[in-house]
């Protein structure tokens, strides 16, 4: 997996490519935490992701919960590849409403139901 964090004002853009699997979870966690520490809004780009597993999806949920506590936000970019959409469906992350932490309706998985 390759990942970069680019700052655009108050937005941290995390661009990911390759395999988002448990072998690379530490790298993803580091990128997410750096993004949350240095910006008020983190946008994740998955355009070039080739594989996704449950561990990385759990990290994205954890990053969202952390963002909510910090009064920040985490979003998925608009160009989510089919492999990621299928992983959301297969893992049970597809949601119509956010979790109990999601008072602001900012759950990354909520908007995915219309795209699946």
pLDDT exceeds 50 at position 41: yes
Q: What is the pLDDT of residues 10-36, one digit of tens each?
A: 999 999 999 999 999 999 999 999 999
Q: Is 92 left (phi over 0), alpha (psi -120 to 50) or beta?
A: left
| Full-model pTM | 0.82
H-type alpha helices, 1-116: 25-38, 54-69, 82-91
d(CA 104, CA 24): 30
pLDDT at residue number 116:
27
Residue 115 — pLDDT band, cuts 50, 70, 90?
very low
Cβ neighbours around 34 below 10 Å, total: 16
Phi-psi region of 10 (alpha: psi -120 to 50; beta: other; left: phi over 0): alpha
Domains and CATH numbers, the chain: 2-114 (3.30.750.24)
- Distance between CA atoms of 95 and 15, rounded to whole angstroms? 24
């Amino acid at each position: 997996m390759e990942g970069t964090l680019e700052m655009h004002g108050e937005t941290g853009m995390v661009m990911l490519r390759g395999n988002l699997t448990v072998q690379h979870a530490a790298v993803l966690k580091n990128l997410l935490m750096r993004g949350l520490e240095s910006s008020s809004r983190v946008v994740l780009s998955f355009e070039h992701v080739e594989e996704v597993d449950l561990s990385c999806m759990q990290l994205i949920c954890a990053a969202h919960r952390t963002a909510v506590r910090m009064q920040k936000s985490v979003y998925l970019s608009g160009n989510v590849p089919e492999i990621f959409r299928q992983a959301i469906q297969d893992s049970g992350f597809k949601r119509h409403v956010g979790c109990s932490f999601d008072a602001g309706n900012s759950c990354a998985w909520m908007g995915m139901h219309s795209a699946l």
